[in-house]
Amino acid sequence: MPASFTAHTLRRLAASASFVLLALPFAATTAHATDLVVSAAASLTNAFKDLGAAFEQQNPGVKVINNFGASDILMQQIVRGAPADVFASADQTAMDKAVAEKAVQASTRKNFAANQIVLIVPSDSTLPLATLKDLTLPAVKKVALGNPASVPFGRYTKTALENAGLWDAVLAKGVMAQNVRQSLDYVARGEVEAGFVFATDAAVMPAKVKVAIRIPSDAPATYPIAITANTAQAELAAKYLAYVQSAAGQAVLARYGFLKP
Amino acid sequence: MGAVWTPLLLSLKVAGWATVLNLFFGVAAAYGLSRWRSPLRDLIDSILTLPLVLPPTVLGYYLLVLLGKRGTFGAWLSGMGIELVFTWQGAVIASTIVAFPLVLKSARAAFENVDKQLENAARALGVSEAGVFFRVSLPLAARGIAAGVLLAFARALGEFGATLMIAGNLPGRTQTLSVAIYEAVQAGDDSTATLLVVITSVTCVAVLLIAGRLMPGHTRRADLS
């Protein structure tokens, strides 16, 4: 029986393992003095990639490292001590929690952009959706919306639907997305008849989705930004915040459909 | 091409380290459990198998709470200058824990299948306990262990949920292949997503092919004589 070759197998495995060990040292990668980690809401993905690149150009040697995700997850990470320097949230609730946990410097908090919730449909859709009430039509089987418990666009959507008295009816058809880009993706792939996203997200895929309804909102969707409490880059972070609010930074945001706060 | 190679190399690095760690801890825990006679054994086994059944995001949340700078354990680590959140080492820990039960289960079954008479014969011949382990039990269980380790590598390569929670999505630092694909889809960048998906698939097939060659009974028949 193969005692010799199983031993051989083990030796080979051990050899491969040590190769991995040698090739990939487990050294702690110390952050460069000029790295700026920006945790930003998923809906900011395209705009903040551009903003980061422009900021790097203006500040040679600086590297902006974007961490995109759902605002509430980013907030959790920062509250638990993740080494982010800047937090840009898609709504006030996530930022409020971060402030309450003393995870960000409240004095640096500023609204830097605004957005609007829209109802989108696949670009080849022929559904006659003119008002939110049309979502109750039998032809609309599934509607993508954000989970109000965990994502800002879900909270905005819930408020709008509650004001229209339609929340329960739409929720029954609801497909919960964990972030706004997931909702956009479901609509773009035609997996749902309609979905709620930010106006800026709809603009990312103009060939695949079209806006059916713009939701008039009493409380505009404003985006706050702040420097984290345990940043080691307070000065650079402040510079970045100033850049985001500068004319140049606002122009980049406007290019992606964001409104002034 | 950096957009493709950086996450690929990072994924291999993270999965490689997770596999090496599991080779140690998984095999040690499996050997311990297979030899330990205690009513607590099944309870411990179940607890150690939890990562296989818990949703990875739940696991990631636990890790974030535990290892974050404001967590009990994380505060202690931080005091020693070790930070795990938003680092690739954090991703290694997530992948290691998620893949651990695969090694544990395979290795425990393999150790339990080893003929006790062979071990006892070695003891009767005066071989030490360590000698019994390294020269009898381990070689006889190698096949099962190898299978578990390879599964663990594959699982670690695809890890997403727990990794995203604790390591975040930092390009060039913690953005593994799975996370990069997720972000490309989010950004509406289907061409990058497709490219990354193809690369992942090719890598996984290559790993499986190499794994097949490492497995006993494939190419080493000549050695048997």
Average pLDDT of the segment spanning B92-120 = 93
The number of residues in chain B equals 225
- ipTM for this model: 0.72
Average pLDDT of the segment spanning B170-196 = 86
Say which residue, A17 or A168, is predicted with more confidence: A168
| A35-114+222-255 matches A117-214 in fold | yes
Cβ of A79 within 8 Å of Cβ of B83? The answer is no
Q: For residue A175, is pLDDT > 60?
A: yes
Q: What is the pLDDT of residues B45-91, one digit of tens each?
A: 999 999 999 999 899 989 988 988 877 888 888 888 888 888 999 99
Q: For residue A28, is pLDDT > 50?
A: no
Residue in A6, A9, A77 nearest the CB of B85: A77
Q: What is the pLDDT of residues B37-50, one digit of tens each?
A: 888 888 999 999 99
- Residue A6 to chain B, least CA–CA distance (Å): 6
The ranges assigned to domains in chain A are 35-114+222-255, 117-214
- Are the beta carbons of B144 and B112 closer than 8 angstroms? no
Statement: the pTM of the whole predicted model exceeds 0.90: no
Residue in A6, A79, A81 nearest the CB of B139: A6
Helix (H) or strand (E) holding B59: helix B56-67
Cβ of A80 within 8 Å of Cβ of B70? The answer is yes
Q: For residue A206, is pLDDT > 90?
A: no
**Architecture label for domain A35-114+222-255:** 3-Layer(aba) Sandwich (3.40)
| A117-214 CATH | 3.40.190.10
Partners of residue A102 in chain B, C-beta under 8 Å: none
Cβ of A20 within 8 Å of Cβ of B64? The answer is no
Partners of residue A7 in chain B, C-beta under 8 Å: 139, 142
Partners of residue A12 in chain B, C-beta under 8 Å: 214
Say which residue, B215 or B37, is predicted with more confidence: B37
Q: What is the pLDDT of residues A165-174, one digit of tens each?
A: 999 999 999 9
Helix (H) or strand (E) holding A88: strand A86-88
Residue in A5, A13, A204 nearest the CB of B188: A204
Residue in B89, B142, B169 nearest the CB of A69: B169
Cβ of B140 within 8 Å of Cβ of A3? The answer is yes
**Percentage of the residues of chain A whose pLDDT score is greater than 70:** 86
> Do the bridges between strand A63-69 and strand A117-122 make them parallel or antiparallel, or are there none, so unpaired?
unpaired
Nearest CA in chain A to B68: A80
- The pLDDT of residue A1 is 40
Partners of residue B217 in chain A, C-beta under 8 Å: 2, 5
Domains of chain B in start order, with CATH, are: 2-218 (1.10.3720.10)
Mean pLDDT computed over every residue of chain A: 86
**Is A8's Cβ below 8 Å from some Cβ in B?**
yes
Cβ of B85 within 8 Å of Cβ of A81? The answer is yes
Distance CA A101, CA A103 (A): 5
Partners of residue B89 in chain A, C-beta under 8 Å: 26, 28
Residue in A13, A76, A181 nearest the CB of B149: A13
Alpha helix (H) residue ranges in B114-189: 116-124, 129-132, 138-158, 161-167, 177-186
- The pLDDT of residue B219 is 44
- The pLDDT of residue A142 is 92
Burial A155-191 (b: 16+ CB within 10 A, else e): bbbbbbbeeeebbebbeebbebbbbbbbbbbbbbeee
- Are the beta carbons of A81 and B71 closer than 8 angstroms? yes
Which residue, among B117, B170, B175, would best test binding to A if mutated, counting the most A CBs under 10 Å from its CB? B170
